[in-house]
Copies of this chain bind each other. A is one copy, B any other.
Amino acid sequence: MTYCLALALDDGLVFASDSRSNAGSDYVTTYGKTHVFPLGPDRIFVILTAGNLATTQEVINRLRRDAQAGDDRPSLATVEYLFEAADLVGNVSLDVQEHHARGLARGGADGTATLIVGGQIKGEPPQIFMVYPEGNAITASEETPYLQIGESKYGKPILDRLAHRSLTLADGARLALVSLDATAKSNATVGMPFDVTLYQADTYEIGASQRFGRDSVAYQALNETWNDGLQQVFDSLASSVPSDGWYLC
């Protein structure tokens, strides 16, 4: 499985992904799931991928080929709005799924893919979209400034508690790492290294991208601070909750 998420903040966008891929439990591999399309000076896209690896790889390859073709075919280089980019990615995803439908049906395999498409085209604010396997898409909202794909449930409560649009990009990155960490601790099909990519609004280039492996000092410190802090908050529940019955004993 996979867990990827994106945050749409006032300052810009945060993208984060795990890198575990598995075909059954006896074939576990590492694949990056964050794909950057620097098609500036007036546009940039980041795509996060979940689902069938053959499908998502071919989707990314087709998108890159078409963006570089330089002719008048619809591509990420030619779309004028970000929702059109999401629609384009959905179309390519459907095309790839249909291209292999006969073979996938023979093997009974699931060839579907779910993607997050984020970025900015000049004239619009930065945005993120989640593209469903059916090819249609939704964007985030003011109140729910994040989108998730893959194993999304484990890492959702912390987003629901702490995510809001006024977070800085660095805070967004830390929140994404905490959400990824919670997921990887509870589900063996989601694993390190984690990729985090930051995009500051109106820059049309990636501000920072970093891979966090098990040996990352920063990640270990974040992990330790979070775990110790959580333990302290939990310990404080006993004394700070007013005496209202048995459960404070």
List residues of A whose CB falls within 8 A of some B CB.
151, 153-158, 160-162, 169-171, 173-175, 178, 182-183, 185-187, 196, 198, 207-208, 210, 216-218, 221-222, 225-227, 229-234, 236-238, 240-242, 244-249
Contacts and interface: CB of A to CB of B under 8 A. Distances in A.
A232 to B, nearest CB: 7
A159 B200 CA distance: 36
Given A174-B247, A234-B162, A241 B225 contact: yes
A71 B242 CA distance: 48
Contacts of A169: 249
B236 A222 contact: no
Contacts of A157: 154-155, 157-158, 182-183, 185-186
Given A178-B234, A225-B236, A244-B218, A185 B161 contact: yes
A223 to B, nearest CB: 9
Contacts of A198: 246-247
Contacts of A158: 157, 230
Contacts of A217: 242, 244
A216 B218 CA distance: 40
**Copies of this polypeptide in the complex:** 2
Given A222-B237, A230-B230, A240-B221, A160 B174 contact: no
Contacts of A242: 217-218, 221
Contacts of A156: 154, 186
Contacts of A240: 221, 225
Given A161-B231, A198-B247, 12 more contacts: A157-B157, A170-B238, A170-B246, A174-B237, A198-B246, A208-B245, A208-B246, A210-B245, A221-B240, A222-B237, A229-B232, A232-B233
